[in-house]
Chain A
């Protein structure tokens, strides 16, 4: 039987639908991802759990055109070039895999959070990571 798991549960606030788990400083409002216990801006600030917005726009993007060295783990079918970028979620920019075809990718493209298979464990378990895909509902 095929099973799936999240690559790192601490990254996710929920799975279906996916939300990323960040943290927000009670004092200066700085939002970070992944969660961390102290504020990088005001050392006295208290951080509390904060689910990140799921919709944003591509802030920068590129293509990984050569297979990375380990500890990168290729997907089941082997390495294929993939897009990565920063997505502007308003309160924070998050670096992520971009499930966007080259012809559609541009700075400013509306995207929304999704998951995609990163690799498979040796026992066949599919390991999911977070990514952003074009947001069909967003107005152009």
Chain B
């Protein structure tokens, strides 16, 4: 059944997301790692390869000072919203290459309140772009969503339906930040940030950490009762013609997203179709992004989202449950941790031990998707 060069998730851990001034990013990362190790029933000394990611909360490899100075190779990655997926990809490739039989991926972050700070120079742009008030990620999400709703005839109410489901799922999840359900009307009536998006349709920068223990196929089934196979993970940067954040100009279109490229590659490598997915995680920095990502990843057709949402098809009990833990909307967005939060949730769902709402009927195929600046996406397929 299992092949030695297959990679499985055999343990996962997560520090609650949200705001807690008493802990640092590193504190949270340490707790997530220790939980993942305990979940897999292994010790830090057993880990032969590690990768970690954080956007603003320190060098991940310094965690060895807390976990144990074993000499383990520890790669730091910093890939924006794809950081978590990059750590998984790095560790999985090392295991497949025979570097080690057990590996660890960890992601963490702790951000300041409010919108992310930006630097025009860091994105290769002139100072004018930020000085004139155009360098805000919230504007990009609003502009992309506005055009998408226009092109596909989707009403703004669908954006509230997405957020309503996110907060409902978050309210049932012990590790989520936003735990209070909100009605569609409350979401529509919250202060406008950038139309068509309101305050409760956006996630907030927050804090959190998550970690996974990965094992080669020849070890996985000895360590774990129900290991989850990493059937594929694919990372893509943007190609010409994509519509990205911080873009002073765009080509006339059509605009193809790196999410589409990454999803297609992940499905192809895993040998499954989007219709096979029984539990999914989609980057939901805002309601519009999730709505668009549903179609960009192939989970539905462009313009089909409203019907899907209204029918409850994306609820935990629906045909294609999305963001069963409440996603970024309910969890907040600690950039380095969110990607691994997605893995944590999907792994636990496939193992039948979701911390929050469990998808009924023993789902066997899971999917994760992240998307971020300046046009990167990573997708994975997980199976049991």
Contacts and interface: CB of A to CB of B under 8 A. Distances in A.
Given A61-B143, A65-B192, A86-B250, A11 B128 contact: yes
Given A72-B131, A85-B143, A95 B252 contact: no
B128 A7 contact: yes
Interface in A18-77: 22, 30-34, 40-41, 59-66, 68-69, 71-73
A33 B132 CA distance: 16
B139 A32 contact: no
Given A62-B143, A62-B146, A92-B251, A129 B132 contact: yes
Contacts of B126: 8, 10-11, 34
Contact of B115 (A68, A90, A91): A68
Please classify the interface of chain B as helix (H, G, I), strand (E, B), loop, or mixed, using the class held by over half of its residues. Answer: loop
Given A33-B249, A71-B127, A88-B252, A63 B146 contact: no
Interface string B244-256: 0001111111000
Contacts of B132: 7, 72-73, 97, 118, 129
A40 B240 contact: yes
A107 interface: yes
B92 to A, nearest CB: 31
Given A8-B128, A59-B147, A63-B192, A72 B133 contact: yes
Interface of A: 7-8, 10-11, 22, 30-34, 40-41, 59-66, 68-69, 71-73, 82, 84-86, 88, 90-97, 107, 118-119, 129
20 contacts: A8-B127, A41-B251, A60-B143, A60-B144, A62-B146, A62-B195, A62-B196, A64-B136, A65-B195, A69-B117, A71-B120, A82-B133, A84-B133, A91-B252, A92-B249, A94-B249, A95-B247, A95-B249, A107-B146, A129-B132
